[in-house]
Amino acid sequence: MQLTILDVSASKGQPLAIDAAISFKPFVHYLEKRLAEEKTVKSLLYKEALARFNDASIRSGDIELEDIEKYGNLLEHVYACLSPVDEGEGRLAWGLSFPFLPVVFYGTDLLYDLLDRREQNYDDESRTPADYYRDRLQLIYSFILKRLYNFQAPVKKEQYHVGINKTTGLMQCYKIDINTDLVEVTAKSALPVIDFVQLYTHLSEGGGFEILEETLPLSLFMFRGLCIITLTDVTAEEAINNIRKVRLSPKGITDEQSYQQVIQSLKSLVRDNKIEFDLFPFLKVNDEPVFGFAKAGTGVLFEVWGEHRLSPEEFKRQAKSFAAKPIFFFSSDIYQETGKAYSFLEHFRRLGVKSLALMPIFHLHEPVGVMAVHTFGGHTFDEKVLALLEPAISPVGQLLRIYVDVFNMEIQNVIKEKFTSIQPSVQWKFNEVAWNYIYHTKRNLPVVLGNIHFKDVYPLYGAIDIRNSTAERNKAIVADINNHLHILAETLDALQAYQDNNLLREMIYHTRQWQQMAQQDQLSTSIENDIDQFLEEEAVAYLNHVASQAPGSRQLINTCLQQLDSHVNKNELELSMQLINNAINDYLETNKYRLQESYPCYFEKFKTDGVEYDIYIGQSITPTKEFNHFHLKDLRLWQLSSMAAIARLTHSLLTEMPRELHTTQLIFVHNHPIEISFRTDERRFDVEGAYNIRYQMIKKRIDKVHIRNTEERLTQPGKIALIYTDADDVVDFIPFIHYLQESGDLLPELEELELEDLQGLTGLKALRVGVALPSL
């Protein structure tokens, strides 16, 4: 123990005009109370201490700070009675101070050692004299309110001092707990009345105790006793809190400043500025590892696993291997590690690394990255350092998860920006609307996101449909059901050799009933669902039951279950449809950019059982470039010739299709401009106005229209159908048809047809012409 007067604030604590003095009176009262309550052998300690104070005859007198050295023996009794029994003097930073002054006069060796080191090596520039004054004011007034008014102020009694160690350059944080139980306060006159509702509201909202200096002046009170101080080094806890603060920021560790804050916190945690840290997040695109954007910190991991050393394929292989089996590695000296298993250390040696730990970092049991702990030159560390890092592993894992999430968000933003229906041809309009919105918002002006619309645009619609796709799908489903029932029936018959009982005969009976019902060319939805339920639930459950009862049947039943799980006909149909749609989609994707060369237009395609597209062209699409009828004619010629090309393309795929499918080609000709507007809910354009909606209605009803007075569908494989309402609509197309007939793309015969009336639609006409298809 030491008896030395020391200013804890390093002369930053401003003097307070208070009537205060050191007194043992509160401690004597404490001893008398404890002696009356204590029934164990500890009472002897209190009795002895009380006797010593009584002998000294200083129960009520004030003690000058300068005379405190005279009372060393009595102070030892104070320490013995107040210090925790489970902490030795060498591990406890405990002391006594002047009432409400930052002056310690007695304490443990550890307390003085910490205070001495703090004064010599600790730069606490964050705390000013004003900060010390405010903290002491808060401590005194919260004490007065509790003792004299029985009001608990919403404040914490402990104080935190965060600074930089001058020797290491690292953060250090101390918590100082000031116990005022051995201080007595006396009012020199009547206590003022306080509005505690108003006071509590003020303090809860972050207000200071300065408001009490006028209504409750400190000169009104007298303070006598001792303050008990406990000093705790909480650098580790503060370092972890700093990492958590970075985690809570919107950017996480995506910027260099935040990254360095995390690195410095980790260094403070291990209390060694020569130990370096690198974080390497696992980034993925389509579930495949990819390189990060930039190196940070010392960049050791970036150098070893970066794109300048590894090819994308090799990095992907190594990253997948590590993620599949994350391995912890540590060596205090990597130059001592030999053998083939440690060949990867050569890359670290070239960078001058001495000690190295590679720690896989997880978040919710998923690997999110690697943390490298390393040193350069001759400096080393042992495994005890890694134990100090344990509290930081979880927060670092959360940081890396945020980094990965921010990366994924950037990918999504690019997709939304570059690959939505907001195409370059109309981007300028969206820019105007967005700017108008931002302009009004920044100036707190009323703003409404109005419709984004384009007037007087010419629409072009085309549809490539897979012929009888619904019927083909039904046929495939029926074929698979019949196949499954046949396999099940054969398996059940074979199972009679293993288990012949009434339950098996009942399953055979039901299977044959369903086989008879499935002979229909087209099943109703309810029957189809009933058969699926029978196969997927009843039959599977029964087969598994038999396998458990008769182990010898397991191989037969497993073969059956595997075949029941396959849908050969449906898969063949889907593959054929996919071949067609992919070919059409690739053709249109390639051509839509060429269409912009003559005059910018809006091009949108969407999948059905085939592919449909809408094209809009007109002056309002590109106001800066003059539009004329020749631009529309050029687009119509492309529309007709592209339909012929697509018909030949899909015909050429017949030899590759598991199930033969044909396409039909349809063009709806509308020779009058319309108005379109952008629908934010569907992120696409749609027609605007009552008259223009008729155009949209015709598009949706003509796909299965028949020739008037016949049962023949207009659209036929190998042909192009053009639907219109007035002869003037196809004036542009007639010369194009003749041109393509002369060039050999279209067949010579051209049909002029009248179409059946549809609901709300009459007078529709059509041209139909065959496509010159190659022989297979």
pLDDT of residue 691: 63
User: Do the domain assignments include residue 593?
Assistant: yes
CATH code at 381? 3.30.450.40
Residues 640 and 767 in one domain: yes
Helix (H, G, I), strand (E, B) or coil at 122: strand
Residues 359 and 336 in one domain: yes
Would you give the distance in Å from CA 402 to the centre of its chain?
6
Tell me which residue range forms the domain holding 436: 421-450
pLDDT of residue 406: 83
End-to-end CA distance of the chain: 104
What is the rounded distance in angstroms from the CA atom of residue 531 to the CA atom of residue 551?
Answer: 28
pLDDT of residue 426: 74
pTM of the model: 0.52
Residues 57 and 185 in one domain: yes
User: Do the domain assignments include residue 461?
Assistant: no
pLDDT of residue 119: 66
Copy the structure tokens of residue 474.
């039904």
Helix (H, G, I), strand (E, B) or coil at 440: helix
User: Do the domain assignments include residue 629?
Assistant: yes
Instruction: For residue 707, list its beta bridge partners.
Output: 755
CA atoms within 13 A on the CB side of 702: 32
Q: Cα dist. 225→16, 30, 54, 79 in Å?
A: 17, 11, 16, 15
What is the rounded distance in angstroms from the CA atom of residue 486 to the CA atom of residue 519?
Answer: 12
pLDDT of residue 166: 75
CB distance 281 to 404 below 8 Å: yes
Residues 553 and 445 in one domain: no
Residues 363 and 250 in one domain: yes
Give the end of a domain, one of 414, 432, 464: 414
User: Do the domain assignments include residue 642?
Assistant: yes
Domain count, the chain: 5
CB distance 532 to 456 below 8 Å: no
CB atoms within 10 A of CB 322: 17
Phi-psi region of 324 (alpha: psi -120 to 50; beta: other; left: phi over 0): alpha
What is the rounded distance in angstroms from the CA atom of residue 748 to the CA atom of residue 380?
Answer: 88
Residue 500's Cβ-count burial label (10 Å; 0-12, 13-18, 19+) is: exposed
Q: Which of 380, 415, 459, 358 is nearest to 696 (CA)?
A: 459
Residues 22 and 97 in one domain: yes
pLDDT of residue 293: 58
CB atoms within 10 A of CB 2: 15
Residue 52's Cβ-count burial label (10 Å; 0-12, 13-18, 19+) is: middle
pLDDT of residue 418: 46
Q: Cα dist. 271→20, 55, 122, 168 in Å?
A: 40, 49, 14, 8
What is the rounded distance in angstroms from the CA atom of residue 315 to the CA atom of residue 264?
Answer: 29
Copy the structure tokens of residue 649.
């393309």
Q: Which of 503, 593, 595 is nearest to 550 (CA)?
A: 503
Q: What is the mean pLDDT of each run of 10 residues along the chain (776 residues)?
A: 84 74 93 90 90 80 90 92 78 90 90 78 66 83 92 75 80 88 94 86 74 88 94 89 80 75 92 93 85 72 87 89 90 90 90 95 92 94 94 92 83 56 68 64 68 86 93 89 92 89 90 85 79 89 90 92 91 94 92 85 86 92 90 95 96 94 96 82 65 80 93 96 94 96 96 92 94 91
Q: Helix axis angle, 469-495 relative to 554-564, nearest 10°?
A: 170
pLDDT of residue 419: 45
User: Do the domain assignments include residue 462?
Assistant: no
pLDDT of residue 713: 95
Instruction: For residue 614, list its beta bridge partners.
Output: 461, 604
Residues 47 and 151 in one domain: yes
User: Do the domain assignments include residue 466?
Assistant: no
CB distance 346 to 354 below 8 Å: no
CATH code at 657? 3.30.70
What is the rounded distance in angstroms from the CA atom of residue 283 to the CA atom of residue 292?
Answer: 7
Residues 83 and 198 in one domain: yes
Instruction: For residue 366, list its beta bridge partners.
Output: 363
What is the rounded distance in angstroms from the CA atom of residue 315 to the CA atom of residue 323?
Answer: 12
Residues 538 and 634 in one domain: no
Residues 400 and 291 in one domain: yes
User: Do the domain assignments include residue 750?
Assistant: yes
What is the rounded distance in angstroms from the CA atom of residue 354 to the CA atom of residue 359?
Answer: 16
Residues 426 and 409 in one domain: no
pLDDT of residue 127: 65
Give the end of a domain, one of 566, 587, 622: 566
User: Do the domain assignments include residue 463?
Assistant: no
Residues 242 and 173 in one domain: no
What is the rounded distance in angstroms from the CA atom of residue 753 to the CA atom of residue 15?
Answer: 106
Instruction: For residue 463, list its beta bridge partners.
Output: 612, 666
Q: Which of 360, 351, 286 is nearest to 324 (CA)?
A: 360
Give the end of a domain, one of 205, 233, 261: 233
CB distance 29 to 226 below 8 Å: no
